Amino acid sequence: MFSATLLGQVLVNGLSLSAIYVLVALGFTLLFGIMRVVNFSHGAFAMLGGYALFLLYGKWHLPYLLAVPLAALGVAALAMVLEYLVFRWFYQKMMQSMIGLLGLNMALVYSAVLLWDVYERSIPPAITTLISVGGVLLPADRLTVVAIAIVALGAFWLFMTRTRFGLAMRAASQDVETAEAQGMDTAALYRMAFFIAIFLTALAGGLYAQTYSLSPFMGDRPLIVAFVVVILGGMGSIPGAALGGVLLGFSESFVSTFYGSAVSSFASFGIVILLLIFRPWGLLGTKEAMRA
Amino acid sequence: MTNPLVLKSPGTHAQPRGNRVGAVLAGLGAALAVLVWPLVWSNDFTLTLGILIAINLIGAVSLHLIVRTGHVSLGHAAFMGLGAYATALSLTRWHLVFPFDLLAGAAVPALVALLIGPLLLRLAGKYFVLVTFMVGEVIRLTFIQWSSLTGGANGLFGVIVPVPGLDSLLHFYYFALAFCVLCVGIVVRILTSELGRAIDSIREAQRVSECSGVPAIRMKVVMFSIAGALVGVAGGLQVYLLKYVDPSAFTIVQSLNFLIMNVIGGMDHLAGAVIGTVFMVVLPQALEQYVNVQQILFGLILVAVMIGMPGGLMDAVKRLRSLSRGRSGEER
């Protein structure tokens, strides 16, 4: 049962799953942390990312490493229109944002049904080879997913910690009013955070669609995952989202391989409920955030 | 910091005295309309709509009871499912007779709510939202996995409705309406009583009301439990209507529907839940003729209402009312 190949594959699956989860959850937590927006249309943007990658890579045959970021950029650029039309009205309004963005999610998903039909498509894998590491065969496409995610996460981390904009964003996520009082243009900051969040989500959506399958309804799973990961890590906490994504990705990969997916769902939900009851601010959130 | 879950001032007992007669007349008119319309103008379609409104209204109004304590539950449909399964099992396995099957449907979710309530209701607003979402998912997964009891993903079939005469949709409408009036009546009674004022005080300032001797947590657990019982009855009625039960009806989608009914109507008033329910049940049917874009239009309308009326459709009602009184702007 515990052969080296199986373990290696479970490990790589866990890694790639974690990578995708972290990307999705980061966008979600960024929107919640800074704008107090519960983005129920998050899955729809992941779905759009999938279709964008399908178009650029599957149809137009752009080089893979160019198509992946371009697809995410395209979706994020399109999303800026929605930011102007829809999202900016919901900033700092948690309840209203939940319902309104749920409506947006329906509109986007069923527009996709209208445009591209309901049937499932697949995005051709970039590499089909198996890499042998010390006698253990590992699928190279999964490793590519991990590599792309690590580059994106690294860039995001550098942006958040080494630039003035990142600093401003972290400040705004702690206390918007004080940040405004220090002269930060929060409207511009919101737009930037929104762009980054949707970019990460669309990127994850493309990779997710390639790993599993592409359909207008594929966004439901990433949305639930983002929700769970963000609860696990702490609402609005960026390192928490990263930790939560890795934990969920690995435990899902391990538990569902060895005990089946039903046990896996029960275990992850059960643990998160217990965590919420005894440590509601999440693994890495701060207790102060309770008051917000 | 403003808590997004704290609502505006309650409206239940803030009626100006001169308005009483008008309100009573309006209530009587509405009651008459609800009772008489099926006799005047009805077909299977409108009757089914009426029944769906009645069942959903119980769900929405019971969620309103939780909302009034300052909490938002995203697992309400799971409690409806508990009621539905309890009713279906009462009829197929436990051989209970008529009122007792629906009583079981009310008791099981109420009991579950009573057990988990004390743990969950200590949590602050947004954490409660999240944890009820997870609890709802766990309950739904239990429906699917405990197949020896619940029939798994296929659900339970062959429910024989124990009340004679319910095959006629017209009779069913009045049957559902009776339960709907009973449940809404319970909620109205609670909200207009001293209990209701205690709930409102807990929502506005829990610490202060605790200092005034209101047992906040106990009160919230009781409300959570009553809401569970009511929505359980709605689940039971749904079993009566469909004659089967399966887990797909009690997903997060239905929980969100109940929430949308409350928010789209207006969270700070019971009437909001009523308006929201009618809106949510009727609108998708009204858009039926645009089959292709039905869901898209529905989604866009949700977005537009939430942008234009952050306080829900009750905003529009209030605005109209203040316009007709000729002192627009003064009230807001």
Cα B132 off chain centre by: 16
Task: With a cut of 50, say whether residue B171 has pLDDT above it.
Answer: yes
DSSP 3-state of B245 = strand
- Disruptive mutation site among B6, B73, B127 for chain A (greatest number of A CBs within 10 Å): B127
The better pLDDT of the pair A84, B2 is held by A84
Nearest to B138 among A97, A111, A269 (CB): A269
Contacts of B310 in chain A (CB under 8 A): 93, 96
Instruction: Please give the pLDDT value at position A193.
Output: 92
Nearest to A102 among B131, B145, B302 (CB): B302
Task: Give the CA-trace dihedral at A282, A288, B2, B5, to 10 degrees.
Answer: 30
Task: With a cut of 50, say whether residue B301 has pLDDT above it.
Answer: yes
- Check CB contact of B303 with chain A, cutoff 8 Å: yes
Report the run of H or E that residue B113 belongs to, with start and end.
helix B98-120
- Mean pLDDT calculated for residue range A52-58: 91
- Check CB contact of B302 with chain A, cutoff 8 Å: yes
Per domain, the residue ranges of chain B are 43-250
Predicted structure pTM score: 0.82
- Mean pLDDT calculated for residue range B282-304: 83
Instruction: Please give the pLDDT value at position B81.
Output: 95
- Mean pLDDT calculated for residue range B162-190: 89
**Polymer length in residues for chain B:** 332
The better pLDDT of the pair B293, B59 is held by B59
Task: With a cut of 60, say whether residue B330 has pLDDT above it.
Answer: no
Could you tell me the pLDDT band of residue B279, with boundaries at 50, 70 and 90? confident
User: Residue A175, by phi and psi: left (phi above 0), alpha (psi -120 to 50) or beta?
Assistant: beta
Contacts of A36 in chain B (CB under 8 A): 4
- Check CB contact of B7 with chain A, cutoff 8 Å: no
Could you tell me the pLDDT band of residue A290, with boundaries at 50, 70 and 90? very low
The pLDDT tens digits for B250-271 are 988 889 889 888 888 888 888 8
Task: Decide if B72 contacts B125 (C-beta within 8 A).
Answer: yes
- Mean pLDDT calculated for residue range B273-284: 87
Distance CA A225, CA A210 (A): 17
Could you tell me the pLDDT band of residue B156, with boundaries at 50, 70 and 90? confident
Q: Which of A81-85, A202-206, B307-311 has the lowest mean pLDDT?
A: B307-311
- Check CB contact of B307 with chain A, cutoff 8 Å: yes
* A8 Cα to chain B: minimum distance (Å): 30
Distance CA A62, CA A98 (A): 37
The pLDDT tens digits for A104-145 are 998 999 999 989 888 888 888 777 777 777 667 777 888 888
Yes or no, beta carbons of B259 and A89 under 8 Å apart: no
Per-residue burial over B220-231, b if 16 or more Cβ lie within 10 Å, else e, is bbbbbbbbbbbb
Yes or no, beta carbons of A95 and B120 under 8 Å apart: no
Across the A:B interface, residue pairs with CB atoms under 8 Å apart total 116
Could you tell me the pLDDT band of residue B17, with boundaries at 50, 70 and 90? low
Task: With a cut of 90, say whether residue A82 has pLDDT above it.
Answer: yes
Could you tell me the pLDDT band of residue A270, with boundaries at 50, 70 and 90? confident
Yes or no, beta carbons of A99 and B260 under 8 Å apart: yes
Yes or no, beta carbons of B123 and A280 under 8 Å apart: yes
Could you tell me the pLDDT band of residue A285, with boundaries at 50, 70 and 90? low
Query: What's the burial of A180, exposed, middle or buried (CB within 10 Å: 0-12/13-18/19+)?
Result: middle
Task: With a cut of 80, say whether residue B332 has pLDDT above it.
Answer: no
The better pLDDT of the pair A203, A274 is held by A203
Instruction: Please give the pLDDT value at position B310.
Output: 81
The pLDDT tens digits for B84-133 are 999 999 988 888 888 888 999 999 999 999 999 988 888 877 778 888 88
All structural domains of chain A = 4-291 (1.10.3470)
Task: With a cut of 80, say whether residue A85 has pLDDT above it.
Answer: yes
* B93 Cα to chain A: minimum distance (Å): 26
- Mean pLDDT calculated for residue range B71-86: 92
Instruction: Please give the pLDDT value at position B320.
Output: 82
- Check CB contact of B218 with chain A, cutoff 8 Å: no
Yes or no, beta carbons of A103 and B267 under 8 Å apart: no
Mean pLDDT over the full length of chain B: 84
Distance CA A95, CA A108 (A): 20
In percent, the amount of chain A with pLDDT more than 90 equals: 26
Nearest to A110 among B135, B260, B296 (CB): B296
Q: What is the 3-state secondary structure (H, E, C) of chain A?
A: CCCHHHHHHHHHHHHHHHHHHHHHHHHHHHHHHHHCCCCCCHHHHHHHHHHHHHHHHHHCCCCHHHHHHHHHHHHHHHHHHHHHHCHHHHCCCHHHHHHHHHHHHHHHHHHHHHHHCCCCECCCCCCCCEEEECCEEEEHHHHHHHHHHHHHHHHHHHHHHHCHHHHHHHHHHHCHHHHHHCCCCHHHHHHHHHHHHHHHHHHHHHHHHHHCCECCCCCHHHHHHHHHHHHHHCCCCHHHHHHHHHHHHHHHHHHHHHHCHHHHHHHHHHHHHHHHHHCCCCCCCCHHHHHC
Instruction: Please give the pLDDT value at position A289.
Output: 47
In percent, the amount of chain A with pLDDT more than 70 equals: 96
Yes or no, beta carbons of A228 and B134 under 8 Å apart: yes
The pLDDT tens digits for A149-194 are 899 989 998 998 899 988 988 888 888 888 889 888 888 999 999 9
Contacts of B126 in chain A (CB under 8 A): 94, 235
The pLDDT tens digits for B192-244 are 998 889 998 988 888 888 888 888 889 999 999 999 999 999 999 999 999 88
- Mean pLDDT calculated for residue range A242-262: 82
- Disruptive mutation site among A31, A91, A99, A261 for chain B (greatest number of B CBs within 10 Å): A99
